[in-house]
C-alpha cells in the first residue's frame, strides 16, 4: 500500500473515533459557503495499454509524469450543529505534462485539466482551543479529465473523458473573531481519479490508443469559510461571586426553560412571559432584566451565543406583550451561574433557562 493510500485510509478509519466525541465538537449550524485554492502535486499515472496496428507495449512499462500544478474549489454546505457537515463541492485541477516513459524516456508537452464535483461528509473536532478547529472528511464525485495537447515525440492526444473520483480531507479552521461566522482554512486533500478510460490519439501515418490508469493528486489549499447567521459574541460576564447576592425584596423573578440546544419558546414559556409582562404594568417597575443561561453540554463559546439567543427571544416576546424595549436589559451568561451545579458536558434542563427579573 502506498503512503498516499495509507493517508486516505487513515482519514476514513479515524472518523468513527472522532464521531465518538460528538458532544464536545464545535458545531457549525446551518448554511455555509467555502472556497480555496493552492498547489497540486500529481502522483503521475500508469497506463494500462498502449498500442497501434503495429505495436503493443507492455503496460507495466508505460508511466506518465506531470509537473506540480494548481487547484481550486468552491463549496456550499450545511452544518448539523453537532460537528457533522455535508457539502457539495466544485473543483478544478491543472498540471502540465513532464515526460512519458516506455522503454525510453521522452519529454511531454501539453497539460492535464480536470473539473467536476464531489459530495463530501466532514466532521469538526473541538480540541479545546477557541482559535483552532481541526476537521476530517471524505467525498465521492465525478471528474471530466482532459489530456490537452498531449504531445510526446510522434504521439499526439487531445481528448476528454469522465472519471469517478474519491478523496480524503484533513484540515484546520481558524475563526476570525472580528467577523462572526468567518474562518480561514488550511487543508490537505488526497484525490484519486479512477482509471480504465480509453484515449485515442495520432502518430505519423496512423493512430494510437492507450487506456488511462490510476491517477492520484495531493493538494494543499488555503481558503475561507463563512457560516450564515452567527451572532456576534457578547462581552463575557464578570466572574460570579462565591455566593449570589439576593435580589432586592421588591424584585420578582420568572423562569423560562428551553429544550436542549434550542432557543424557540414553548407554549408554557409564552404563558410565563405574558404573566411577567402583565405584572410589569401593575407594579412599580423601572427595569426588566432578561438573563440567558445554558447547561454545560456545549463549548463555552457556543454556549455564550446560545444564551444570548435565548435572552433575545424572551425580550422580543416581552415587547410583543406590550413592554417597551427601553425598559429591557439583556444579559447572556452562557454556562456560568448554573442553577443546578454539574460537571462539564451535562445536559441539565434546569440550567437551560432565561430569568426575567422585575425591579
Model pLDDT, residue 213: 64
For the chain, the residue count is 359
Into how many domains does the chain fold? 2
Longest dimension (CA), the chain: 103
Final residue of a structural domain among 210, 227, 244: 227
Residue 166 counted as domain residue: yes
Q: Are residue 45 and residue 127 in the same domain, yes or no?
A: yes
pLDDT for res 45 = 62
- Taking residues 25-32, report their average pLDDT: 76
Confirm whether 327 is domain-assigned. yes
CATH number at residue 289: 3.30.1330.60
Residue 345 lies in a domain: yes
* 342 and 204 in a common domain: no
Residues whose CB falls within 8 Å of the CB of residue 295, separated by 6 or more in sequence, listed in order: 260, 303, 335, 338, 342, 346, 347, 348, 349, 351, 352
pLDDT at position 128, please? 77
**Residues 220, 323 share a domain:** no
Residues 177, 286 within the same domain:
no
Which of residues 193, 227, 261 is at a domain's end? 227
Assigned domain for 279 exists: yes
* pLDDT of the residue at 250: 63
Instruction: State whether 49 and 184 are in the same domain.
Output: yes
Question: What is the 8-class DSSP label of residue 339?
Answer: S
More confident residue, 96 or 196: 96
Say whether both 120 and 211 belong to one domain: yes
142 inside domain: yes
pLDDT at 153: 59
Same domain, 178 and 300: no
Q: Are 185 and 314 within one domain?
A: no
> Is residue 211 domain-shared with residue 288, that is, in the same domain?
no
Tell me the C-alpha distance between 138 and 170, whole Å.
9
Q: What number is the average pLDDT over the span 253-279?
A: 90
> Is residue 19 domain-resident?
yes
DSSP state of 56: B
Mean pLDDT, the chain, rounded, equals: 79
Asked if residue 81 and residue 138 are part of one domain, the reply reads yes
Q: How far apart are CA 316 and CA 195, in angstroms?
A: 59
SS3 238: coil
pLDDT tens digits for range 318-331: 888 888 888 888 99
- For the record, the C-alpha cell of 172 comes out as 484546520
172 shares a domain with 313: no
Which residues, in sequence order, are CB contacts of 349 under 8 Å at separation 6+?
257, 260, 295
237 within domain boundaries:
no
DSSP string of 107-133? E-EEEEEEEEEEEEEEEE---S-TT-E
**Structural domain of 67:** 3-227
pLDDT in tens, 43-79: 766 555 555 545 555 445 567 778 889 999 999 999 9
- Residues 284-311 have pLDDT tens digits of 777 889 999 999 988 888 999 999 999 9
Residue 172's CATH number: 2.40.160.20
**In this predicted structure, which of 142-151, 251-260, 312-321 has the lowest mean pLDDT?**
142-151
Beta strands in 61-108 (DSSP E): 63-66, 69-80, 84-102, 104-107
Residue 235 lies in a domain: no
Q: In terms of domains, do 188 and 329 share one?
A: no
Last residue of a domain, one of 175, 194, 227: 227
Amino acid at each position: 500500500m502506498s503512503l498516499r493510500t495509507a493517508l486516505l485510509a487513515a482519514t476514513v478509519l479515524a472518523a468513527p473515533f472522532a464521531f465518538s466525541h460528538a458532544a464536545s465538537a464545535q458545531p457549525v449550524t446551518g448554511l455555509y459557503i467555502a472556497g480555496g485554492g493552492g498547489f497540486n502535486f500529481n502522483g503521475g499515472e500508469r497506463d494500462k495499454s498502449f498500442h497501434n496496428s503495429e505495436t503493443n507495449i507492455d503496460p507495466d512499462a508505460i508511466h506518465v509524469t506531470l509537473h506540480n500544478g494548481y487547484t481550486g474549489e468552491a463549496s456550499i454546505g450545511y452544518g448539523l450543529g453537532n460537528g457533522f457537515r455535508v457539502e457539495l463541492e466544485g473543483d478544478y485541477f491543472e498540471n502540465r505534462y513532464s515526460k512519458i516513459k516506455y522503454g525510453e524516456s521522452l519529454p511531454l508537452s501539453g497539460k492535464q485539466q480536470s473539473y467536476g464535483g464531489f459530495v463530501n461528509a466532514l466532521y469538526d473536532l473541538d480540541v479545546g482551543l477557541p482559535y483552532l478547529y481541526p476537521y476530517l472528511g471524505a467525498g465521492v464525485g465525478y471528474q471530466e479529465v482532459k489530456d490537452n495537447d498531449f504531445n510526446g515525440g510522434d504521439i499526439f492526444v487531445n481528448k476528454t473523458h469522465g472519471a469517478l473520483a474519491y478523496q480524503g480531507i484533513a484540515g484546520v479552521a481558524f475563526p476570525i473573531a472580528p467577523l462572526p461566522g468567518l474562518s480561514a482554512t488550511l487543508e490537505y486533500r488526497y484525490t484519486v481519479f479512477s482509471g480504465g478510460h480509453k484515449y485515442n490519439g495520432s502518430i505519423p501515418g496512423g493512430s494510437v490508443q492507450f487506456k488511462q490508469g490510476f491517477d492520484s493528486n495531493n493538494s494543499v489549499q488555503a481558503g475561507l469559510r463563512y457560516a450564515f447567521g452567527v451572532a456576534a459574541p457578547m462581552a463575557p460576564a464578570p466572574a460570579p461571586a462565591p455566593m449570589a447576592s439576593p435580589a432586592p425584596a421588591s424584585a420578582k423573578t420568572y423562569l423560562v426553560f428551553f429544550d436542549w440546544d434550542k432557543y424557540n419558546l414553548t407554549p408554557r414559556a409564552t404563558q410565563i412571559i405574558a404573566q411577567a409582562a402583565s405584572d410589569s404594568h401593575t407594579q412599580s417597575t423601572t427595569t426588566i432584566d432578561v438573563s440567558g443561561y445554558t447547561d454545560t453540554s456545549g463549548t463555552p463559546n457556543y454556549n455564550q451565543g446560545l444564551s444570548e439567543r435565548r435572552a433575545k427571544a424572551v425580550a422580543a416576546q416581552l415587547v410583543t406583550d406590550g413592554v417597551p424595549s427601553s425598559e429591557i436589559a439583556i444579559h447572556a451568561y452562557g454556562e456560568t451561574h448554573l442553577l443546578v451545579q454539574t460537571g462539564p458536558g451535562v445536559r441539565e434542563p434546569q440550567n437551560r433557562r432565561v430569568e426575567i427579573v422585575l425591579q
